[in-house]
């Protein structure tokens, strides 16, 4: 069911410093910051040859990243995203297996303009998993 690893998302306390570290010290291809007001984040994409790293920084007081950075002031890996071909079929299979889908259970449009869902970390080895329909 799952396909490619679309991205690994890392919440960071200083977006400019983290971007500079990936660009200068690690020599990676780092994009410009993009505000995603619908998701409460500013995102910087790092393009690796086979996948992406997403640096996440809070945008607004209601950002879902605020609580994460309070618990992890140095930052940390926030979620991983797997691609699926049919997000509703994936959701229904996961729900049948007992896994909890976060929020309303209906896909939202994610940062890449594609339908996404998040799965409960307690059902996936403490890992917040995003599914993105491609």
- Which tokens is 39 given? 């998701």
54 annotated active-site: no
Q: Three-state DSSP class for 57?
A: strand
3-state secondary structure of 74: coil
List Cβ<8 Å contacts ≥24 apart for 119-126. Answer: 119/94, 123/98, 123/99, 124/99
Q: Determine if 104 is a binding residue for a second copy (CB under 8 A).
A: no
**With binding defined as CB under 8 A, does residue 55 bind a second copy?**
yes
Residues whose CB is less than 8 angstroms from the CB of residue 111 and which lie 6 or more positions away in sequence, other chains included: 34, 36, 39, 41, 43, 54
Contact call for residue 57 and a second copy (CB under 8 A): no
Decide if residue 118 touches a second copy (CB under 8 A).
no
Which stretch in 32-40, 59-67, 68-76, 107-115 sits in contact with a second copy by CB under 8 A?
A: 68-76
Of 30, 44, 53, 101, the one binding a second copy (CB under 8 A) is 53
Question: Largest Cα–Cα distance of the chain, in whole Å?
Answer: 46
The residues in 14-43 that bind a second copy, with binding defined as CB under 8 A, are 18, 21, 24-28
Check binding of 89 to a second copy (CB under 8 A).
no
DSSP label at residue 5: E
Near a second copy by CB under 8 A: residue from 45, 51, 66, 100? 51
Positions in the binding site for a second copy (CB under 8 A): 1-5, 8, 10-13, 18, 21, 24-28, 48-51, 53, 55, 72, 74-77, 80, 82, 93-94, 97, 99, 121-122, 124-127
């Amino acid at each position: 069911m799952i396909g490619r690893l679309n991205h690994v998302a890392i919440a960071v306390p200083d977006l400019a410093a983290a971007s500079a570290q990936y660009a200068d010290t690690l020599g990676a291809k780092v994009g410009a910051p993009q505000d995603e007001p619908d998701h409460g984040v500013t995102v910087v994409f790092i393009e690796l040859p086979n996948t992406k790293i997403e640096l996440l920084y809070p945008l607004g007081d209601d950002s879902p990243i605020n609580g994460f950075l309070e618990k992890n002031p140095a930052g940390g890996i926030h979620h991983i995203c797997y691609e699926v071909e049919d997000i509703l079929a994936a959701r229904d299979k996961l729900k049948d297996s007992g896994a909890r889908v976060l929020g309303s259970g209906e896909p939202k449009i994610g940062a890449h303009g594609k339908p996404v869902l998040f799965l409960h970390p307690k059902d996936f080895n403490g890992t917040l998993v995003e599914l993105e329909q491609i």
